[in-house]
Homo-oligomer: A and B are copies of this chain.
């Protein structure tokens, strides 16, 4: 077992601050290459030069670099948190309303949804996220606030809030999502009113938090369901593994396979340029860089995570 011992020892010896600082330097030239999301003004005006990264280990070590305390729009990363809520409340019966297979399509495609009669392929594409949000708001008259409270608690930061300008803009520009939600309703797969689901959905997407907030909020997924800071159990061991599995196969839109190949860890990205990654049993890592690649994922963010798993010699593979 020498190799195992060596690796484990080296896990403890990794100097994360040095690693992150090195990555920040290495991706500097890539920040300009991506394209910032422009469908709403509040996202369009975020400078491409922004970059942040944060790490939180199960053993309490942490590190951060760049704009790691600056809040950004987490967008689809929020889907992991609402999925956690819905799974806890509804259990596995949630899977009758939404699948857990990769879509092989863009995040917002309606094609598959039609062929599969209104059952979205997985909870991390837009259609599936509408179903998950519906599951939350249908149980809780105050569902929108409950989502925010859940994220605040996970991150241990009561100041996290909706960016109302973003939520409003998303709503105004959100015809594609309105099409999806109406389509789900037409197939009987939304219980609440379309407008109520859309309002909660656009708000959860508008949640603004920093990379440092994000690794805290996601660390239970690295730590077998237990909040690393408080010791509180957020999900069962099994649930946390399952959420990681869903992220692994469905978390990066149509670049799931490429991300697994290059980076090799469960992760969820958002169109605001953020990505939350998990090395199960070891750490949570978050990165933020607003420039996106052709698949809608942060271009420099993916590269930073690739460098991260390469340099610390850790991935799930």
Contact = CB atoms under 8 A, between A and B. Distances in A.
Interface of A: 1, 3-4, 7-8, 12, 59, 99-105, 109-112, 114-115, 121-122, 175-176, 178-183, 185-186, 194, 224, 240-242, 244-246, 248-250, 254-258, 260-261, 264, 266, 280-281, 315-317
Nearest to A254: B101
A97 to B, nearest CB: 15
Looking at chain A's contact residues, the main secondary structure is helix
A-B interface, 3 closest residue pairs, ranked by CB to CB distance from nearest? A104-B104, A316-B316, A175-B186
Contacts of A183: 110, 175-176, 179
Nearest to A244: B317
A40 to B, nearest CB: 13
B104 A59 contact: no
B245 A256 contact: no
27 contacts: A1-B12, A1-B59, A8-B8, A101-B104, A101-B254, A101-B255, A101-B258, A104-B105, A104-B121, A109-B114, A111-B114, A111-B115, A122-B257, A176-B182, A176-B186, A178-B178, A241-B317, A244-B317, A245-B264, A246-B261, A248-B248, A248-B260, A249-B249, A249-B260, A266-B317, A280-B316, A280-B317
A186 B175 CA distance: 5
Contacts of A244: 317
Given A1-B12, A179-B186, A182-B178, A261 B316 contact: no
B264 A257 contact: no
Residue of A105, A110, A315, A317 most packed against chain B (CB within 10 A)? A317
A118 to B, nearest CB: 10
Contacts of A261: 100, 242, 245-246
A241 B261 CA distance: 8
Contacts of A115: 111
Nearest to A108: B186
Contacts of A249: 102, 248-249, 256-257, 260
Contacts of A245: 257, 260-261, 264, 317
A179 B176 contact: no
Given A179-B179, A240-B317, A245-B261, 6 more contacts: A8-B8, A100-B258, A102-B249, A175-B186, A241-B317, A242-B261
